[in-house]
Structure 1
Amino acid sequence: MKKKITHILMLLLMSVLPGCFTGVESTGHVTERDVQKATAEAAKHATASTLTAWHDSVPAWRPGKQFYVTDDQVRLLFARATDYDVDSIRLAGTILYYDGYDTGSMLDNRPTVNLRFTDRQHTYVYRTDKTMDEFQASYSIPMLVDMDAVHHVARQISGQDLYVKTAIWYDIATDEMLRGRQFIKVHIDSVLPGNKVLPLKVLFTAKDNGDKACLWMTDGNTLMQGRDFDALFSLRDIRRSYSSISDANWRRIVNGQVAEGMTKEECRLAKGAPKSIRQLPDQRGLREYWLYDGGAYLYFVDGILTNNRK
């Protein structure tokens, strides 16, 4: 599988870097979009999602279905069905219960659906502007997380030992970003509702030292590059796929560090895909800059790291 991905990726990169594969001595420039597009296309041809997504269309909803509220601003989306002060209502962190629907206006002979929710005290109405036949299976409401989707993913990964693929972790209590480690074994403790952007919050514990953290993740119904399950976790020990990398360099990779003498593959594992790549072929060989956010860069000569700025 790895060879297949590599082969496809090389073919796709050749299409955006013609000068680099023809011997033409010109300055090549590859953007982050080119790199990500090639990687995504290769993955699409070679793999399918490891997790199954929760598909639940509105017509199948039953009264009592639960939704977690991620942001107080959701109140601005609702039409009032009971009397309450819009400015004082606080719903973030609470559960709303689906309470059925009714049809609104009949403009253009379209019986549009109004969804009702309750917090056991007030009733809130969300006007969808859709007929019942127009709902897709992945329909969602901003700032509401379908708890059935949370439980569906939790049943698949909670209690499992996996390998985390990113060193950017988050504090469970404060949600602040942490500098973690990547490609290490972790135990998935639980899956909780997430935030208004990413609906899942995956809590885990590092198997070697007990560090606890979390990651935000999609539920499989939304496309967000780098935030789905397969971008964040692996079922298998990633180290086994890179047996040629020395233990010293692998320790650097795990901690997101690089050192002179490392290969491009090792640096990519350590730092991730660059924002852009600038290639400068000359008579002495191929010089290459990998540019990252914040002015950081990696400088390679014939594929070997010779300089870098953090």
Structure 2
Amino acid sequence: MANSESTIVNEEAKAATKTVDYNHAVELYKAKRYEEVLSSLGSSVSLNSINSTDSNDEESLYLISYVKLKAFDSNYDEALKYVNFLRPIDNVLTPDEILEIMDAYPILQAAVGSTLAGEQYNAQQQQHDAQQQELKDRRARGIVIGMSTDDVLLSSWGKPKDINKTTTKYGVSEQWVYDDNRYVYFDDGIVTAIHE
């Protein structure tokens, strides 16, 4: 009987130590010290033991730390292997955070997973920046004859307070009315006259 009591005491001591180790690992995770989380939990958890979404909190904490550490090292291929196994951990990892991670990793993988993808991402970003700058420039400019209706809407004049439209067998004419007795005249969607 003394032997079984000793076994129970040992198991309770192990459980208490495991709880203290887990709580310490949570604090390390919150401090973004992911490598230390892995070291702290490494004796009881390994990636090989995590093969389903039924992992416990300790395994999940180990896994999210591993994924984030690999991402910080730009090892997205390795991080992506385990993203689908992430699950919420009370007061540590919310379902929304998991969704953000799952959404972000494939994008990052595509964007910088290879030199070519990184170059493509940079080119797309430069094109986007140029388009944004052009849009800002258009908004700052006034209007000129030859602009389209869309160009006028994107200009500093913006949306008119009223539009008078005339349709004839020769096409569609519009008069856009603005404050301060300003008018813009269009024939078939192109500015033909400006009254300021």
The TM-score normalised by the length of structure 1 is 0.20
The structure richer in helix per residue is: 2
Query: Relative to total residues, which structure has the larger strand share, 1 or 2?
Result: 1
Between 1 and 2, higher relative CO (CA 8 Å, sep ≥ 6) is seen in 1
TM-score normalised over the length of structure 2: 0.31
